[in-house]
Amino acid sequence: GAGVSQSPSNKVTEKGKDVELRCDPISGHTALYWYRQSLGQGLEFLIYFQGNSAPDKSGLPSDRFSAERTGGSVSTLTIQRTQQEDSAVYLCASSSSNSGNTIYFGEGSWLTVV
């Protein structure tokens, strides 16, 4: 696609429920990132995928958070047993060495846990 695509754009869920957020990176981009942005705050790194290498999961805040990337393209971020402090914008980004490793962001998935 032309840009990084994320879905859903908005999600309201009840505390304790699981949610899945999807990211479709720019076609051909080998690197994929997830960041979290709480209201009025900066961007917090969550996880990074590069090709077939093991992902860098160092930013995941707890074991309720997980992510996978199937076939080196689409990624899903899963949050289990959501809590109110999980409310934030979840941003996906992708990059490629063919485009100078410039990192491009999607519009984000706005998650509200009530």
- Determine the interface stretch with other proteins among 15-23, 64-72, 80-88, 93-101 (rule: CB under 8 A): 93-101
Q: Which of 47, 32, 34, 29 is nearest to 97 (CA)?
A: 29
- Return the number of the residue (80 or 110) whose C-beta is nearest other proteins: 110
What does the alpha-carbon distance between residue 32 and residue 23 come to, in Å, rounded to a whole number? 9
- Which of 21, 26, 88, 108 touches other proteins by CB under 8 A? 108
| Chain residues 30-89 in contact with other proteins, contact rule CB under 8 A | 30-31, 33, 41-43, 45, 48, 50, 56, 59
The torsion of the CA quartet 90, 91, 92, 97, rounded to 10 degrees, works out to: -150
Judged by the rule CB under 8 A, the positions of this chain that interact with other proteins are: 4, 30-31, 33, 41-43, 45, 48, 50, 56, 59, 91, 95, 97, 101-108
